[in-house]
Structure 1
Amino acid sequence: MTIKILVALAASTTLFAGAAFADGHTADWPESFTIGTGSQGGTYFGYGSGWGGIVSEATGVSGGAEVTGGPMQNMSLVHAGDLAFGMTTMGPAAESIAGNNPIAPGLQMTGACAMFPMYQTPFSITALSSSGIESIADIPAGAKIGFGPAGSTSDTYFPRMMEELGVDFERRNGGWSDLGGQLQDGLLDVIAFAAGVPVPAVSQLEVQTDVNIIEFTEEEQAKITAAFPVAQFDIAADTYQTLEAPARSVSMWNFAIANCDLPESFVFEVVNAVMSDNERMVATHKAARSTLPEFWDRNTVMKWHPGAAKWFMENAGADIPADMIHGG
């Protein structure tokens, strides 16, 4: 089940309403739009609500953010046209396009197109200070680890990473806010987050109790980057009150996605609203510091929506091959 959170008045989530709009809006623009995000307490939900509001104001089309299971489900919903927009990471996007999305095994989800770069998702581990867990090696055998919502980027990749590093664990799933509460109540030993930083659930935890934000060793980082589609990343010291120095991590890029059949002119204006005012985006969520035009080339797996490709080629000097643009 999904929960819709409105960021502007929306009467419908129909993609193609065919209504006429004033101020130059074309007749084939949707009457409203919905963005697939993630769980409440996670970065996707806060970030998606933020850019949804900016787009609504810029285009005059009302929009809302919807709580979902995260990247895998968003690929499925946007591909099918059940949602106009969503957010995903490169790993789940590649698996979905290849037909390996667990929601619909064998279905190649090519109806979801790249729209704009969002930010890198660091993989980070949090435990209560009282647990004595200060490193990955300290995680005891059989530890109960919360990996986020089922099918999320975290749930898809972090268990595999822990297995690669020799950690023996019991897998738990849930929304980030719920898992944070379970950690605080002693029902979990560790939470393995894959989310843009600062993760709201971690920020809330460190206000209420003492936590350890556990970094990868250089050897662990090298092992993970060799085995998975991630890159080296440092979580800045000023991200959390708990950190006194940058924390070594790995990360995966996130992209906003659009149903490939949305009107080109509409998607062009959506991208323009988000990419033309980074200061405003950062005001909605700090993770948007990386929501910059020059990172267009971080998409290596999805075809671009024609409206998005047009914006990046005209405004960011993007050299996007025709065969990487939907319909090209």
Structure 2
Amino acid sequence: MRKHMPKTFTLLASSALLVAAASSAQAQADRSDWPDNFTVGTASQGGTYFVYGSGWANFIADELGVSGGGEVTGGPTQNLALVHTGDMAFGLTTMGPASDAVKGESPLAPGMQMDNVCAMFPMYETPFSITALADSGIESISDIPDGARIGFGPAASTSDTYFPAILETLGVNFDRRNGGWSDLGGQLQDGLLDVVAFAAGIPIPAVSQLEVQTDVNIIEFNEEELATVLENFPVAEFMIPANTYTTLEEDARAVSMWNFAIAGCDLPEDFVYEVTKATMENNDRMRSVHRSAETSIPENIKHNTVLPFHPGAARWYEENGYEIADDMIN
């Protein structure tokens, strides 16, 4: 014989279904102004930005069910401009170029204050490191010969913006070359370059590839050079761990800048909230994208003192106990 449900149970069940339906409808409504797809500005192939940015874009696309991917660009300086103009939803940048962009001093758009660029989450520190072939005899910065052909990465990249000035300050006279990291690594191996000055998250894919194919020297700053650079440039002291590369036998002295993922400030708040939530709550998945993502954690938001946070990102941080000053939220 069929048993009848108590009326109170039926009413509770009906209420639960109505609440669930309302929640589902609300979730659907929250997506109504979301973009159909998104693009992440990275940098050249062979660099960490491309690997990190493309992997992160694929993760977010899978997690949120929105089509998206990484795109090759000229790097941090161009990414700021592309996000500011709305040509790309997201990008990756370093704090030096970000500071220039906010002040209207970007070399790509002098006089334009890029006020439509908001911070989302911390990525990692970018060490400035120098690589030469072992048979070149270059084992220190002072060994770099006058007129050395040095590759500084893509034009207007963080490396190209700051590394030439750093080496000039240290008294190095060089012939400046530009290109993608993979191309420059190939030119170094072929003897077309004497040195490549990398500013990229570690391990740098192009350096790891070089190590497989030939013997290289990874050149560190000595203490005097380090002090000079710290005094004259917006960088911090950094040690490249010996286990980063097979070439290194001990930690190597370097300098670094922090990297942050950026978003257009006019992107929907709920969309950026969900992107930030997925990224910050899945660090294991992020580390599988690139090893450097071990520092892509909310505690490191303190390293952004330049760009306002997107309100969607700020909401996630504040909900999870991380404080952001009101004047640092767009």
CA distance in 1, matches of 2:70, 2:31: 23
Summarize deviations over 1:76-128 as a string: whole Å, max 9, x none: 00000000000000000000111111111100011110000000000000000
User: 1:54 Cα shift?
Assistant: 1.4
Specify the SS of the correspondent of 2:186: helix
Pick from 243, 247, 255 the counterpart of residue 250 of structure 1.
255
CA distance in 2, matches of 1:210, 1:178: 18
CA distance in 1, matches of 2:322, 2:142: 43
The question of 1:80 aligning with 2:94 is answered no
Specify the SS of the correspondent of 2:175: strand
Give the corresponding residue for 1:8. Answer: none
Summarize deviations over 1:134-161 as a string: whole Å, max 9, x none: 0000000110100000010000000010
Letter in 1 for 2:147: G
Distance 1:227 1:176, change over 3 A: same
Please identify, of 96-105 and 27-36, the stretch whose mean Cα deviation from structure 2 is larger: 96-105
Give the corresponding residue for 1:324. Answer: 328
Letter in 1 for 2:48: T
Pick from 179, 183, 192 the counterpart of residue 178 of structure 1.
183
State the percentage of identical aligned residues.
67
CA distance in 1, matches of 2:28, 2:104: 41
State the Cα RMSD in Å. Answer: 1.3
Letter in 2 for 1:266: F
Higher helix share: 2
Pick from 35, 41, 45 the counterpart of residue 46 of structure 2.
41
Pick from 89, 95, 98 the counterpart of residue 90 of structure 1.
95
Specify the SS of the correspondent of 1:204: helix
User: 1:245 Cα shift?
Assistant: 0.5
Give the corresponding residue for 1:213. Answer: 218
Task: Give the ranges of 4+ consecutive aligned residues of structure 1 lying more than 4 Å apart after TM superposition.
Answer: 20-25
Please identify, of 102-111 and 125-134, the stretch whose mean Cα deviation from structure 2 is larger: 102-111
Letter in 2 for 1:38: A
Give the corresponding residue for 1:135. Answer: 140
Matches within 5 A, 1:264-303: 264-303=269-308
Give the corresponding residue for 1:7. Answer: none
CA distance in 2, matches of 1:249, 1:282: 23
CA distance in 1, matches of 2:316, 2:229: 35
Letter in 1 for 2:298: P
Pick from 96, 105, 121 the counterpart of residue 116 of structure 1.
121
CA distance in 2, matches of 1:250, 1:123: 6
CA distance in 1, matches of 2:313, 2:262: 10
CA distance in 2, matches of 1:226, 1:152: 22
CA distance in 1, matches of 2:220, 2:145: 16
Give the corresponding residue for 2:107. Answer: 102
> Which consecutive unaligned segments of at least 5 residues does structure 1 have?
1-19
User: 1:284 Cα shift?
Assistant: 0.9
User: 1:318 Cα shift?
Assistant: 2.3
CA distance in 2, matches of 1:146, 1:313: 42
Give the corresponding residue for 1:66. Answer: 71
Letter in 2 for 1:41: G
Letter in 1 for 2:323: D
Higher Rg:
2
Letter in 2 for 1:203: S
Specify the SS of the correspondent of 1:65: strand
Give the conservation status (yes or no) of the 8 Å contact 1:296–1:312. Answer: no
TM-score normalised per structure 1: 0.91
Give the conservation status (yes or no) of the 8 Å contact 1:144–1:170. Answer: yes
Aligned length: 306
Specify the SS of the correspondent of 1:35: strand
CA distance in 1, matches of 2:224, 2:297: 31
Give the corresponding residue for 1:204. Answer: 209
Letter in 2 for 1:108: Q
User: 1:23 Cα shift?
Assistant: 5.5
Give the conservation status (yes or no) of the 8 Å contact 1:21–1:27. Answer: no
Summarize deviations over 1:220-272 as a string: whole Å, max 9, x none: 11111111111110001110010111111000000000000000000010011
User: 1:25 Cα shift?
Assistant: 4.8
Give the corresponding residue for 1:9. Answer: none
Give the corresponding residue for 1:13. Answer: none
CA distance in 1, matches of 2:201, 2:189: 21
Specify the SS of the correspondent of 1:245: coil
Give the conservation status (yes or no) of the 8 Å contact 1:124–1:193. Answer: yes
